[in-house]
Amino acid sequence: MEYRIKDKSLSSYGKKKINWAESHMPVLLSLQKKYQDSKPLKNLIIGGCLHVTKETAVLIKTLHAAGAEIAWSGCNPLSTSDDIAASLVVDEGLSIFASRGVNNEEYYDDIYSVLKFKPHITIDDGADLTIEFHKTMDEYGSNIIGGTEETTTGVMRLRALEKNKKLQYPIIAVNDAETKHDFDNIYGTGQSALDGVIRATNILLAGKTVVVAGYGHVGKGIAARCSGHGASVIVTEVNPINALKAKMDGYIVKPMSDASSVGDIFITSTGCKDIITGTHIEKMKNNTILANAGHFNVEISLNDLANLSTSTQNLNENVEQFILKNGNKINLIGEGRLVNLVAAEGHPSEVMDMSFANQFLSVLNFAENKNTFENKIYDISQEQDLNIARLKLESMGIKIDELTASQNRYIHDYGEGT
């Protein structure tokens, strides 16, 4: 076992948090119970690069209980919970390379520490590990069977790799499962992004104007929660279909150049860069709050913000205040990195339960069907999606109706019309 973490003495706090998450992740726990004796992942090394949180710890423990050897790094310099990393090392004896506040070089050192284990299966969030692996397959790739990808941005990067015929091993796009993005991205980010803004600033949302950039699943969740708190929501979009959906969901839709002078709080969730730039920042009101809920810290131009400022000060651990040349103060949360993980605790355990059940079953799929995959991006099966939804409903004590035989025939037939 090797590791590089911040402080082993934090392990007892980490363990308590992991227990809390476990008690809210019944689907993943049922998989842990099901596979802990047969150990279908025995002799497999899993290389993970995914936020080290209490929920991820439950996934890691489930993979380990099913027999896998683990090597894991964080996937964002500011998202690691150091107490969770400590518990995984001290209480579980696992190889963890992750600390909150690493610089760029340390971040990639952690990823390479994982690659040196020569993983059979990778689990990635944002594709940093997978992309580095592709550069070093000659050295570390001898065992690789397949990999999974957790997030929209990562799937986009890997689809670009596939399109360029450069994908060197099969990937399962966990993000694209309905029981992942329809819950984690919408309800998970919707709640946790606001949680981050509120923990960092304690701002009252009622009566404020929140500008949500991007109306994909994440933006949709954030807009709904802001609206529920009594804020007026403006959505900015480049996709006409998403813009129409936002309008018909009751929000004001306008370009960022118009929204920038009226918003009190801006939350980006587009997966693209330069959403808020200098020309927007110059128009913003005094005391505007900026936060990003997209995977990378490229949505708010940090260069432009710095160039427009005469000085900065830290208001607290997660808020940096920029004093602009025009005298206005602009408050940036979490260095423009994922606000929900930097300033709060990420998505609640209940949604990560389904996302990570998809991760576990995808890994199991690779383990059980090793030689049947091509170097392509695969969706998870509808059967897996339905199964996870059924298990989740069961854990919530919810029963649903079943089609009768005649209804089943009806929906699969074209004969019965008017």
* Interacting residues toward ligand ADE by CB under 6 A: 50-51, 53, 55-56, 341, 346-347, 352
Which letter does DSSP use for residue 336 in this model?
Answer: G
Tokens of 214: 């991007």
Q: State the nearest-atom distance from the C-beta of 192 to ligand ADE, in Å.
A: 6
CB of 301 or CB of 355, closer to ligand ADE: 355
Q: Mention every residue, 6+ apart, whose C-beta is less than 8 A from residue 11.
A: 83, 86, 87, 89, 90, 91
Q: Which amino acid is at 398?
A: I
Tokens of 178: 């309905």
Strand partners, 378: 172
Other beta carbons less than 10 A from residue 314's beta carbon = 9
Q: State the nearest-atom distance from the C-beta of 46 to ligand ADE, in Å.
A: 15
CB of 53 or CB of 365, closer to ligand ADE: 53
| DSSP H or E segment with residue 236 | strand 232-236
Strands (E), 40-175: 45-49, 69-73, 95-97, 121-124, 146-149, 171-173
Q: State the nearest-atom distance from the C-beta of 311 to ligand ADE, in Å.
A: 33
CA distance 202 to 35: 43
CB of 120 or CB of 347, closer to ligand ADE: 347
Q: State the nearest-atom distance from the C-beta of 268 to ligand ADE, in Å.
A: 16
| Nearest position to ligand ADE, beta carbon | 346
Q: State the nearest-atom distance from the C-beta of 370 to ligand ADE, in Å.
A: 27
CB of 50 or CB of 70, closer to ligand ADE: 50
Q: State the nearest-atom distance from the C-beta of 55 to ligand ADE, in Å.
A: 4
Q: Which amino acid is at 26?
A: P
CB of 20 or CB of 410, closer to ligand ADE: 20
CB of 231 or CB of 352, closer to ligand ADE: 352
CB of 283 or CB of 347, closer to ligand ADE: 347
CA distance 62 to 70: 11
| DSSP H or E segment with residue 246 | helix 240-248
CB of 212 or CB of 330, closer to ligand ADE: 212
CA distance 294 to 216: 11
Q: State the nearest-atom distance from the C-beta of 272 to ligand ADE, in Å.
A: 19
CA distance 243 to 264: 21
Which letter does DSSP use for residue 338 in this model?
Answer: B
Q: State the nearest-atom distance from the C-beta of 321 to ligand ADE, in Å.
A: 26
Rounded to 10 deg, the angle between the 349-368 and 382-395 helix axes is: 140
